[in-house]
Amino acid sequence: MTDPARSSQADRPSPVSSASGDQQAVAAENLSATARLRAGIATRGFRLAALLFLAGVLPVALALSIPHDFAFFELGFLFTLSIYDLVLAMLGLSVVVGMAEDRREIGWIAGVFLAVLLPMLVFFDTIFPVILQSPLGEELFLIAPVAVLLSGLALWLPRRLRAVGAPLASGVVGLSLSLFIGLDDFGIGIEEFAFTAVVGALWILLSPGLLLRPFRGPWLIIPARIIGSWLVVIAIIVTVSLYVPFSPDAPPLPDPSAPDPGLPGIGTLDAPGMPPLDPAIEEGLEDAPGGDGSDLFLPRSDDAR
């Protein structure tokens, strides 16, 4: 007959076995993560996304390493990279591209972006005066921070709402980019500049997300929300900086026609006046004392001082 106490102790797992079980679980998780990484790299989509990424990086790196006169198509691509707040907004939307479960979501993001951007560039001279006369004309400087804000909020939305919020944010980004391109010194008058600026924007919008898509999963939710929080904070800081200057107002410049009060005897009420000239000297009948002006400031004999 067996002892119940001994049988219960035998069935109870020992601390050593439980610790080894946890280590095995961690090792299995690391192995599965490595396996997922290798499987994602081996996919055809990752290879195509890597080629797209290198197609944007290598020409820029080569152009910056060789001294030469930049062409307009190079300047257009670099112009888009120089708009830092919109670059952040497009990178946030690119994370949404990487999280998309359906390719139609990617199509909506890129389609709405181009649907707003291209008509604005083609009919910029007609549309922009209308925008200036509207209530939006006085708040155009807020479009870029709003684009960054919407891009950050899209990363916090659940999947169903993100499918609507991300295209809306991409439309605002496209509107803001069209204003930057249209109001630039080159503007829309040079087709190569505008075309490569749009190509650069599409590359930023899609390339990082397409690299991320083969590895998408639940692990991406928390990093995406962290990036979204950063974008929201950056948008708030930029908006506040547009309304509140960091440096105090400079003091008014002095009047150049006013006498300098720092010099003794000038500009003060008790400054002694110059003695009036003799009418004969004023009319040119007599020469001024000294001839060369050397004794003009010598004290007179009747001066008490």
The more confident residue out of 245 and 84 is 84
- How many CB atoms sit inside 10 A of residue 79's CB? 21
pLDDT at 43 over 90: no
Task: Return the pLDDT at 250.
Answer: 54
Q: Where are the beta strands (DSSP E) in 104-187?
A: none
Distance between CA atoms of residues 170 and 172, nearest Å: 5
Computed over every residue of the chain, the mean pLDDT equals: 79
pLDDT at 96 over 90: yes
Mean pLDDT of 291-303: 52
pLDDT at 207 over 70: yes
Residue 160 has φ and ψ, to the nearest 5°, of -65, -45
Distance between CA atoms of residues 44 and 201, nearest Å: 24
Which residue type, as a one-letter code, is found at position 116? V
Instruction: Residue 188: name the closest of 92, 261, 121, 104 by CA.
Output: 121
Task: Return the pLDDT at 198.
Answer: 95
CB 77 within 8 Å of CB 241: no
Mean pLDDT of 183-207: 88
What is the DSSP secondary-structure string of 100-111? -SSHHHHHHHHH
% of residues, the chain, pLDDT over 90? 44
pLDDT at 229 over 90: yes
The more confident residue out of 18 and 289 is 289
pTM over 0.75: no
Mean pLDDT of 13-18: 49
Task: Return the pLDDT at 150.
Answer: 95
- Using DSSP's 3-state secondary structure scheme, residue 71 falls into coil
% of residues, the chain, pLDDT over 70? 69
pLDDT at 269 over 50: no
Mean pLDDT of 200-223: 92
- Give me Rg for the CA atoms of the chain: 37
pLDDT at 68 over 80: yes
Task: Return the pLDDT at 281.
Answer: 61
pLDDT at 26 over 50: no
Distance between CA atoms of residues 154 and 75, nearest Å: 31
How many Cα atoms are found within 13 Å in the side-chain-facing hemisphere of 174?
23
In the chain, the N- to C-terminal Cα span, in Å, equals 135
pLDDT tens for each residue of 132-176: 898 888 888 889 999 999 999 999 999 889 999 999 999 999 999
Task: Return the pLDDT at 38.
Answer: 82
Task: Return the pLDDT at 291.
Answer: 52
pLDDT at 12 over 80: no
